[in-house]
Amino acid sequence: MTTQSPATASGTTELETRTGKETDHGFVEFRQECGREALGRGQAQAATTAPASAPADPGAANRAAADAILTYIKSQNLVTTAVTITFDGASGTVTAAGSVPDQATKEKIILCCGNVEGVEHVDDRLLVEHVEPEARFYTVVKGDNLSKISKQQYGDANKYMKIFEANKPMLKDPDKIYPGQMLRIPPLSS
């Protein structure tokens, strides 16, 4: 459920979707301790934390993490020809900048960046070439499944495949979601 919170001291208004937040300035907040199991133990998470024996070079670690996240995005067959990814390990922020063909690609890239263990914020600086209605973001909680989420969001549990299709290729199986994962909830009309 999306709720509007009052303006913050800086004058921005935040939209909250359970534990995920999107602000007016293109920042999407994620739960830092959650992330894809495949990445949480693998390439992107490893790149976000330098081994104890390695010399401290935050710049190199940030570049390695950004490269790993971009590699993950590309592995999902998303159009990234005009996309730049940077990572700031100190704040846990990924910045995604550039141009993408459509709203769905933009939202999937944001989710690929944020659903990585160790990422707390995604600074969305992506421009959409063909504007479409925006999806909402939903953060999975313990006990959720796509049918339950579909019932909450659409009033019909049988529309779960719409959510599954909207989150492909990141989701390979409609039964494999995890608490803390953020999903796209597209409008029913699209």
**CA 1 to each of CA 136, 146, 176: distance values in angstroms, whole numbers, following the listed order:** 9, 14, 21
Domain shared by 150 and 91, yes or no: no
pLDDT at 33: 54
Q: Is residue 70 part of a domain?
A: yes
What is the extent of the structural domain holding 67? 32-130
Token pair in block for residue 107: 């939202």
Domain shared by 157 and 117, yes or no: no
Distance CA 147, CA 56 (A): 46
pLDDT at 171: 93
Domain shared by 115 and 55, yes or no: yes
pLDDT tens digits, one per residue of 162-188:
999 999 999 999 999 999 999 999 998
| DSSP structural state of residue 92 | T
Domain shared by 156 and 78, yes or no: no
Distance CA 54, CA 82 (A): 33
pLDDT at 55: 52
Regions of the chain with pLDDT less than 50: 1-25, 32, 36-48, 50-51, 190
pLDDT tens digits, one per residue of 137-151:
999 999 999 999 999
Domain shared by 64 and 116, yes or no: yes
Domain shared by 52 and 107, yes or no: yes
pTM of the model: 0.72
Looking at the 3D structure of the chain, how many domains does it have?
A: 2
Q: Work out whether strand 121-130 and strand 93-102 pair parallel, antiparallel, or are unpaired.
A: parallel
Note whether 124 and 96 are within 8 A (CB).
yes
What's the burial of 13, exposed, middle or buried (CB within 10 Å: 0-12/13-18/19+)?
Answer: exposed
pLDDT at 189: 75
